[in-house]
Amino acid sequence: MKNKSKVKQNNKIFVTIALTLIFIYVLYTAYLLVKQPTDTFTVEKGTLYLEEIAEGYVIRKEAVVKGENYKNGMEQIAIEGEKVANNQSIFRYYSNNEEELKEKIVELDGKIEEALAKENTNIYSSDLKILEGQIDEKITNLNELTNLNEITESKKQIGDLVTKKAKMAGELSPSGSYIKELIEERSKYENQLNSGSEYVKAPNSGVVSYRVDGLEETLANVDFTYLSESYLQNLNLKTGKMVATSDESGKVIDNFSCYIVTILNSEKAKEAKVGDKLKVSFSEEKEIAAEIKYIKPEDTGNNIIVLETKELTDELINYRKLSFNLIWWSYAGLKVPNQAIIEQNGLQYVVRSRAGYSNKILVKVLRKNDNYSIVTSYTTDELKELGYNPQEISSYKKISLYDEILLNPNLEKVE
């Protein structure tokens, strides 16, 4: 009996020890699962930026165009943002009695159509049928157009075809003299309408805009030495306010160059030089290339910096003062946290964890910001320059995408 009791007691002790070990293992595993995400990082592709938010004044090469009859109101021929050639008509001023003439033309169009409808049953001409088919096709296509210029041109073509049809029908019909009389009267009013209009043409090629704010001559770009903090501040411009559309004048903007003047006091701005290439972003979706063309230190410690861009965006047309992101540099590649990089003897390393083993990996840091670095592996030639022998070079381990690396590694514990 004593032996059985002793066996039972030993079993209980064994079970207790086994359960205790299992419990400890479960706790340790849970600890690792919780701890590991903060101890490791998966190498990923990414892009680092060094940027700052800035405000800028837009200077454009632009020529304001305005005619004599600006009080009559204007009709746009070239729409906002459209590219035009030198000497191309971009808008026109209405004639003095334009509405009256238009009403008379519409009235005559009705009479001509009515007369043509009566004669169509008596006229059999293949040429006339062809014209009718062309008119029907133009009218059908007109309903699918969205561009204002294309709509205007299509309407003009339809009008020309209708006039041509009317003239042909007048020549073929017994009562042709009446139709001809209507057509001649319409032509007279149309000539009066056209001759009374003042067409304004582009003085040079570029992009048309009707957003005229009166600063086209003030903010000239011939010589940037006139720029100063006080000069720009005294313009009293509101950031992000869209320039209003004029109904009296327009302008043609050089679509090859546009300038942004900004005032900065960051360390990077103080290190900047004329000719530096960078990027400007008005939204997260698009970045445009820019180059520093002029720098002027101010007594306040700030720097006036003039950026030139060859990309004329809507923002650079519609605004005179705006906010933007100035991207000093951007670099893409393998991205790792700075806390995963450790320096030893002037070289940088990360520690890779793979299949339960940790390896020290020599990496080259290409760019870094406050939180992350873009890294790559050394080439064979670079390793030779660092003094690596052929055997060391052949066994050199490279960092790769999706590698698991340790944060805050201790190199002394890694072979």
> In the 3-class helix/strand/coil scheme, how is 271-294 assigned residue by residue?
HCCCCCEEEEEEECCEEEEEEEEE
The predicted structure's pLDDT at residue 222: 74
In angstroms, the CA 244 to CA 299 distance is: 35
Q: Categorize the per-residue pLDDT at 11 as very low, low, confident or very high, splitting at 50, 70 and 90.
A: low
Indicate if 52-64+218-330 has the same CATH topology as 40-47+334-413. no
The model's pTM is 0.66
Residue type, 184: E
Which phi and psi angles does 325 have, rounded to 5°?
A: -100, 125
Query: For the chain, what are the domain ranges?
Result: 40-47+334-413, 52-64+218-330, 95-196
The residues, ordered by sequence, that sit 6+ positions from 333 with a Cβ below 8 Å of its Cβ are 45, 46, 366, 374, 375, 376
The predicted structure's pLDDT at residue 4: 52
The predicted structure's pLDDT at residue 44: 94
Q: Mind listing the pLDDT tens digit for each residue in 171-192? A: 665 555 677 777 777 777 777 7
Instruction: Identify the architecture of domain 52-64+218-330 in CATH.
Output: Beta Barrel (2.40)
The predicted structure's pLDDT at residue 3: 53
Instruction: Kindly provide the residue ranges of all beta strands, DSSP E only, lying in 224-356, ordered along the sequence.
Output: 250-264, 277-283, 286-297, 303-309, 321-337, 342-344, 347-354
In angstroms, the CA 95 to CA 193 distance is: 7
Higher pLDDT, 12 or 141: 141
In angstroms, the CA 321 to CA 263 distance is: 12
Instruction: Say if residues 183 and 170 touch (Cβ distance below 8 Å).
Output: yes
Instruction: Say if residues 39 and 358 touch (Cβ distance below 8 Å).
Output: no
Of the candidates 303, 283, 282, the one whose C-alpha atom is nearest the C-alpha of residue 292 is 303
Q: Categorize the per-residue pLDDT at 33 as very low, low, confident or very high, splitting at 50, 70 and 90.
A: very low
The predicted structure's pLDDT at residue 111: 78
Tell the CATH topology of 40-47+334-413.
2.40.420
